[in-house]
Amino acid sequence: MISTYRVLLSPKLQTVRHRSRGTGSRTARQILIGALGLFVGYGLYWGVRELLEVLLTVEDLGRLLAFKVLSIGLVAMLGILLLSSLIAALSSFFLARDLPAIRSAPADWLAVYFARLTETLVSSSWMVLLLLIPLLIAYEQVFDGGIGFYAVSVLAFVPFFLIPAVVGSAITLLLVRVFPASRSRDVLGFISIGAVGLLVLGLRVLRPERLVNPDASRELVDYLAVLRGPSSPWLSSQWTVDAVAGYLDGAFEPFWLLLLWSTAAGLVVLGAVLHSRMFPLCFTRAQEGVDQRVKRHAGWRAYEALLSPLPLRRRELILKDTRAFFRDTTQWSQLILLAVLVVVYVYNIRVLPIRSNEVLERWLVSIVFFLNLALSGFVLAAIAARFVFPSYSLEGRTLWLLGSSPVRTSTLMWSKFWIGAVPLTVLAVALAGATNVFLGVGTGLMIISLVTTAVLSLAFTSQALAWGVFFPQFEAENAAQIPTSVGGLLFMLGAIGNLILVILAQYLPLRAYVWSGFPGGEARDPTGWELGIALVLTLALCGLTTLVPYRAASRRLDA
Amino acid sequence: MIVLEGLTKKYGDFTAVAAIDLEIPANCIFGLLGPNGAGKTTTLRMISGILRPDAGRVLLGGHDVHEAPEPAKALLGFVPDRPFVYEKLTGAELLRFTAGLWGMAGPEVETRIDELLELWDLTPWKDQLVESYSHGMRQKLIISSALVHNPTVLVIDEPMVGLDPRSAWLFKDLLRSFVDKGGTALVSTHTLDLAENLADMLAVMHRGELVAVGTLEDLRRQASAEGASLEEIFLRITRGATDEDIERVLSR
């Protein structure tokens, strides 16, 4: 069994090995990626460390707050891991191109299960693991955990990652069993709805607003109860927190590690039994064809009419991309997730405690204004990574048609830019408008905010496309996999860098206004000059970060 | 109609196509033969403007494909070796999209789409997503997409893959009619029967070079194989495994 397991994983390992070997330019690229990764990792470590040190200054509650933050972080990670596992398991157990060869080989079923589970585990966890490492180092440094902390962490986090991978694989198997004929499309639709449920549930479980403002709890005792009580005693994330936090607090209990490992082992056994009973039938049903007749609805005709003023070739490219998007469930199902994210975000801004005794805290408004810019910018970057970054990779093997046609390949860039930029800008402006109304910012700042999010969406669209062109994933098995590639990560890093520069470009001219709102200062509105300089700097910066990647990608396409 | 001048393509240190020169006239079916990895697909991809050559040039109807791509490619219909198309479009939508790329739209295109789908028995599948098509149906659809805009040059890489016998016969007939009406077809194939029966001129490519060019008779002379079949000529020119090699493999 073990030798078959090794053989089954060998193509993936060999692919990784071949990739890591490479030519001079590839090595340079790997060094660059490594350096960027280290830089971001250090930034994260530094941020968490600073946060923990601030929290520890709170008398009596400091340690509780620090572990509560870890608990919240791990619940979020568990949710991400479960969702990623569902998508990864669908790909590795049912959609992978090597499955017909494996199914036709006399391979041990248990080895196949473990090999596919390993692939699911690795592809769903690597990004979360990269985020987790600096976070754990920060905890170790601040709490002086020593080498023992790392040992406990390894023992606690292996089952932490394994449990959602097994559960995700099992749920995917059950979904394919329930929806045989309509195959992966319905499964992914279901996964999206499930993800929505998870998110809402996660928010209810966390009730983060109770942590924000101790005054909101009627009694200090209530507040302490919130802090002391486990966020979610039935989730493996809480057991993981109990294991590592217990160690840092000098009250380590091996029970939590035993609970994690026994749960993981039990689930692996259950998963294997489920796989042996159901996989052959599910795999067969996943291959079944379905009637996929397409009818032209009135909506489509209206959309075609709307695009009719465009030149024929450009119109056809846009129509083709729109059709492909809405007929690909792995693509549009993410819209549901996006809608929930936006609603949750706007809601959170709505309930922010920016008024004290009904008086608007001006300093808090200006801080939250920049925080809002950062967060909504991050949301936009994440959306661009999900929807815009994969668009060139999705052309992949069909590029021969454009390449042999009398259309310049860079025309593709044009159509993909606008098909991404228009909805993203509309969303960005709506997001910025709604949140700033709730924050009660003045007209000047409102204009700045609307313009900034609009130009940021153009810049992010251009950058997502360009990274997608330079780091294409032509072999990806579905659109949802593409953003988790190295190119996707680089895009996110670049976009966050762009966002930080924009925030600086606005903060520097507006800093006198921001500080005027603080206690002791003379509160005032920003002057026209301050707003004008902030606006011009933002436009210049985003103009540059839109045009440079756009041109570079166009040149690459025409080369 | 198709002119190659010193066409070269390298992948790192490996020379896939080594400075080949070739002239294919109008009204000609030209068969390009060669063992796997000889450089045929790379050559065809350079001719159709998908790959940029490292040296040399390709002229279609007198236009350089890489310097003046629009007028050159306006003449071209290309069928790739593997039938990858947009899975989420229907057959009719794919043909409409292709016609649009060549700047054509309207009732004439719709009639043309119906004719092509009818020709290949694809009419019942017209409004089905391509992802539900079989391999052979995709191949027929791609051949249709190469013809939808009335090209004068056809570049076809492995046309017979996945085609049933009736469709294969239809394809040969179609290609002959296309050339008789003034078109030029460059067909790369491993189906030697097709090349022998259909091609007006032939070339054998080996290790990136054109090692033999001409009519079947010319090739017989070049290979010193009077009266030999194309298969015998091909084997003599490319010199692959011997009977002893086969015996050795099977005896284990």
Q: Is the pLDDT score of A141 beyond 50?
A: yes
Q: Kindly report the nearest CA distance between residue B166 and chain A, in angstroms.
A: 25
First vs last C-alpha separation in chain B: 51
Per-residue CA distances from B114 to B122, B149, B166, B172 (Å):
9, 13, 20, 21
Q: Kindly report the nearest CA distance between residue B93 and chain A, in angstroms.
A: 8
CB contact under 8 A, B70 and A406: yes
Residue written as tokens 């490479």?
A22
Main-chain phi, psi angles of B89, to 5 degrees = -105, 155
Spacing of C-alpha A34 from chain mean position: 20
Partners of residue A476 in chain B, C-beta under 8 Å: none
Q: Is the pLDDT score of A217 beyond 50?
A: no
The pLDDT of residue A353: 61
Which two tokens mark A282? 């599910």
Q: Kindly report the nearest CA distance between residue A2 and chain B, in angstroms.
A: 28
Per-residue confidence band for A477, with pLDDT thresholds at 50, 70 and 90: low
Q: Among partner residues B52, B98, B129, which is closest to A294 by beta-carbon distance?
A: B129
The pLDDT of residue B151: 94
Per-residue confidence band for A213, with pLDDT thresholds at 50, 70 and 90: low
Of the residues B54, B82, B88, the best mutation for testing chain A's interface (the one with the most A CB atoms within 10 Å of its CB) is B88
Which two tokens mark B95? 């043909």
Closest residue in chain B to residue A294, using alpha carbons only: B127
Q: How large is the ipTM?
A: 0.80
B33/B40 Cα distance (integer angstroms): 8
Of the residues B97, B101, B138, the best mutation for testing chain A's interface (the one with the most A CB atoms within 10 Å of its CB) is B101
CB contact under 8 A, B93 and A320: yes
A478/A177 Cα distance (integer angstroms): 20
DSSP-derived 3-state class of residue B216: helix
Residue written as tokens 């009639």?
B111
Per-residue confidence band for A360, with pLDDT thresholds at 50, 70 and 90: low
Residue-wise pLDDT tens digits, A310-327: 898 889 999 998 888 888
Percent of chain A at pLDDT above 70?
83
Spacing of C-alpha B102 from chain mean position: 19
**Region A414-431 average pLDDT:** 89
A397 and chain B: CB distance < 8 Å anywhere?
A: yes
Q: Which of B159, B179, B162, B180 is nearest to B171 (CA)?
A: B159
Per-residue confidence band for B4, with pLDDT thresholds at 50, 70 and 90: very high
Which range scores top for mean pLDDT: A104-108, A378-382, B206-210?
Answer: B206-210
A531/A508 Cα distance (integer angstroms): 11
Burial code (b: 16+ CB inside 10 Å, e: under 16) for A454-477 equals: bbbbbbbbbbbbbbbbbbbbeebb
The pLDDT of residue A195: 67
A401 and chain B: CB distance < 8 Å anywhere?
A: yes
Phi-psi region of A328 (alpha: psi -120 to 50; beta: other; left: phi over 0): beta
Q: Is the pLDDT score of A406 beyond 60?
A: yes
The pLDDT of residue A408: 81
Main-chain phi, psi angles of B9, to 5 degrees = -140, 130
A356/A86 Cα distance (integer angstroms): 44
**Region A113-140 average pLDDT:** 92
Residue A480 sits at the vertex; the CA angle it makes with A347 and B97, to the nearest 5 degrees, is: 110
The pLDDT of residue A224: 55
Of the residues A287, A400, A411, the best mutation for testing chain B's interface (the one with the most B CB atoms within 10 Å of its CB) is A400
Q: Which of B124, B119, B109 is nearest to B140 (CA)?
A: B119
CB contact under 8 A, A328 and B88: yes
Per-residue confidence band for A227, with pLDDT thresholds at 50, 70 and 90: low
Partners of residue A400 in chain B, C-beta under 8 Å: 45, 48, 50, 78, 80, 84
A238/A73 Cα distance (integer angstroms): 10
Provide the chain B residues 76-95 that lie in CB contact (below 8 A) with chain A: 76, 78, 80, 82, 84-86, 88-90, 93
A319 and chain B: CB distance < 8 Å anywhere?
A: yes
| Position A37, amino acid | G
Closest residue in chain B to residue A327, using alpha carbons only: B88
Per-residue CA distances from A188 to A191, A294, A394 (Å):
5, 20, 18
The pLDDT of residue B147: 94
| Cβ-based neighbours of A534, under 8 Å, separated by 6 or more | A448, A505, A506, A509, A510
Compute the Cα dihedral for A24, A29, A33, A36 and give only its sign.
positive
**Region A219-248 average pLDDT:** 74
The pLDDT of residue A354: 59
Closest residue in chain B to residue A402, using alpha carbons only: B101
First vs last C-alpha separation in chain A: 49
Ranges A216-225, B35-44, B126-135: which has the least confidence: A216-225
Residue B170 contacts residue B178 (beta carbons within 8 Å): no
Per-residue confidence band for A202, with pLDDT thresholds at 50, 70 and 90: low
Per-residue confidence band for A181, with pLDDT thresholds at 50, 70 and 90: very low
Per-residue confidence band for A257, with pLDDT thresholds at 50, 70 and 90: very high
B59/A353 Cα distance (integer angstroms): 70
CB contact under 8 A, A294 and B90: yes
Residue B69 contacts residue B102 (beta carbons within 8 Å): no
Residue written as tokens 């390894």?
A154
A483/A394 Cα distance (integer angstroms): 12
Provide the chain B residues 122-161 that lie in CB contact (below 8 A) with chain A: 127-129, 131-132, 145, 155
Q: Is the pLDDT score of A330 beyond 80?
A: no
The β-bridge relationship of strands B28-33 and B55-60 is unpaired
B164 and chain A: CB distance < 8 Å anywhere?
A: no
The pLDDT of residue A482: 82
Q: Kindly report the nearest CA distance between residue B66 and chain A, in angstroms.
A: 10
Q: Is the pLDDT score of A212 beyond 60?
A: no
Residue-wise pLDDT tens digits, B121-178: 999 999 888 888 888 999 999 999 999 999 999 999 988 888 889 999 999 999 999 9
**Region A154-165 average pLDDT:** 95
CB contact under 8 A, A400 and B48: yes
Partners of residue B90 in chain A, C-beta under 8 Å: 294
Residue B155 CB neighbour total at 10 angstroms: 27
B69 and chain A: CB distance < 8 Å anywhere?
A: yes
A559 and chain B: CB distance < 8 Å anywhere?
A: yes
B88/A331 Cα distance (integer angstroms): 12
CB contact under 8 A, A316 and B70: no
Residue B146 CB neighbour total at 10 angstroms: 22
A297/B214 Cα distance (integer angstroms): 55
Closest residue in chain B to residue A24, using alpha carbons only: B12
**Region A140-151 average pLDDT:** 92
